[in-house]
Amino acid sequence: MEQKYMDVQIWLYDVWGNKKEGYEVNNQWEHDSPLTMDEETWTTDKLLKKVIKKYLLKPTVRLSNITFMAKEEDYVEFEIGGIPCGRLEVVKRYGIKEGLK
């Protein structure tokens, strides 16, 4: 059986605005180099939220405060407490057979 993997680029947002008037993404930038993750992590909300928290957020942020604004096959946009924070974007997909690296 072949396990599917992907390289995922993290983009962070520079956001203007406030809760009352709404938020607007002013700019975005790449965060570090792409991460490699397996298909199960990409398709499981809780696992994906753990990746976002580990690489981007303070340890005090709760997983329940991370929500997905959009979740598609090749990208996920996320927010924390209603504030847009960034997105994860698949840049490459590949498979590695079990037992081989």
Quick: pLDDT tens for 45-101. Answer: 999 999 999 887 777 888 999 999 999 999 999 999 899 999 999 999 998 755 444
Contacts of 89 (CB under 8 A, 6+ apart): 8, 9, 11, 74, 75
pLDDT for 33 equals 86
Q: Which two tokens stand for residue 60?
A: 């005090």
pLDDT for 58 equals 74
